[in-house]
Structure 1
């Protein structure tokens, strides 16, 4: 039992860190109507990680995995910001194209790598169950800065800086939990609560906390892929909470 807690506790803290930024960012994504930006930016960051693994950059640059992934994500954010300015009507389609190009780019880079399948699985599904507290210190500092910006300078989320804040947060999250869980954490709690008249952020965090807890316990108990288990937990908890909110008539009509 103690050993199980030692495994689950840092993973749960990692989930709380991701939730701390992704819930408010998820509302911004829904407000802007750019649902697939998180998938695109996350996949672009993942492509950066693949580039590090398939080249010798990591031997020459300390922290190369995060730095290169962040540079790729920031570049993607800059491109999307340009799309919004010059091709707003086609924005969602162009974001989808970026996602496909980055995903297939990773496949091409890993085509002749015997461990390519494992790396792709790690980028997409993550390894949250094997995160340790020593892995989290840098992410804690980074998320603390992002949350501080959201609290004290919320206007930044309404302008072009949103894309760059988003890219930095996504890069950190992909390192911990993978592309699928990044998308689900951003969209599912926000989508389930966006029509609430009051306390929508609190309910969104509640959905996320319960889902991460249930998913991690299920993953450790039945030896399931942790990222996939949490994604399904997010969906099921969100459905249950939404039904309860309808039952008690606390959703705006």
Structure 2
């Protein structure tokens, strides 16, 4: 038991750090009904990392970071324009196209580099089991900056996601604040993909928020439930990963998915009584 706790302490801490900011963003994403924006932007960030590798730069280096951030900023601008384009092309369609292009671009880059398949697998599944403290510490700092920014301007971001007609009536600069939302999400994802990979980051953003939305109405309570259920699910998943010799990232995704399914079933049964 002591060996397991020692080995799994850093992966669990990484999960907690990811949950802290992603549970919040997930509620906004659900309300905006742009579920796949996370996986699209995460894939764009991963594409930036692969481009850096192809150019001979370190995957975790400063050059790779700024390239990935620049690409997510471009995606943020594109999503902002798509939302305010009069809906000739739905924003969800643009999100899907960006994901498809980024994913296939990653495949094309992977076949051009030695060990490309391994790098592509890492971009998708991550390496949360081998995350070190320096990466977690730096990501925590970025998440704290983004979290503080959203706290200071929480009324604007909440109104933009939960009361768009009210935001328009109040004279908010919708395009500007939409871009700031997407860009701040993208900045978070650049660091998150490095820790957990595209699939785990998508799951941690969407699943705890979905579970909490089934259980509570108030935003603050949803965030607390998302943190609590997410932390418990991650702890169980890492325990099962250790005991059954399973990959940690997929284990976390499956446990969170199972909890969402059970929560939905329990809610339906309770409503039927």
| Alpha-carbon distance in structure 2 between the residues aligned to 1:100 and 1:115 | 22
Q: Does the CA contact (< 8 Å) of 1:156 and 1:162 recur in 2?
A: no
Q: What is the aligned partner in structure 1 of residue 65 from structure 2?
A: 66
| Alpha-carbon distance in structure 2 between the residues aligned to 1:123 and 1:33 | 25
Q: What is the aligned partner in structure 2 of residue 221 from structure 1?
A: 243
- Normalised to the residue count of structure 2, the TM-score between the two structures is 0.84
DSSP-derived class of the 2:90 partner: helix
Alignment of 1:182-193 (within 5 A): 182-193=201-212
Alignment of 1:15-34 (within 5 A): 15-34=15-34
Shift of 1:99: 0.2
Shift of 1:173: 0.8
Please tell me whether residue 233 in structure 1 is matched to residue 255 in structure 2. yes
Alignment of 1:172-187 (within 5 A): 172-187=191-206
Q: Does the CA contact (< 8 Å) of 1:66 and 1:175 recur in 2?
A: no
Please tell me whether residue 194 in structure 1 is matched to residue 213 in structure 2. yes
Q: What is the aligned partner in structure 2 of residue 95 from structure 1?
A: 95
Change (3 A) 1:166 1:223: same
Alpha carbon RMSD of aligned pairs, Å? Answer: 2.0
Deviation track 1:60-106 (CA, whole Å, cap 9, x = no partner) reads x9522322222221221111111112153511011100000000001
Please tell me whether residue 166 in structure 1 is matched to residue 185 in structure 2. yes
Shift of 1:192: 2.1
Change (3 A) 1:7 1:65: farther
Change (3 A) 1:116 1:97: same
Q: Does the CA contact (< 8 Å) of 1:216 and 1:226 recur in 2?
A: yes
206-215 vs 61-70, which deviates more? 61-70
DSSP-derived class of the 1:178 partner: helix
Where in structure 1 are there 5+ consecutive unaligned residues? none
Q: Does the CA contact (< 8 Å) of 1:207 and 1:241 recur in 2?
A: no
Q: What is the aligned partner in structure 2 of residue 212 from structure 1?
A: 234
- Normalised to the residue count of structure 1, the TM-score between the two structures is 0.90
Where in structure 2 are there 5+ consecutive unaligned residues? 161-176
Q: What is the aligned partner in structure 1 of residue 6 from structure 2?
A: 6
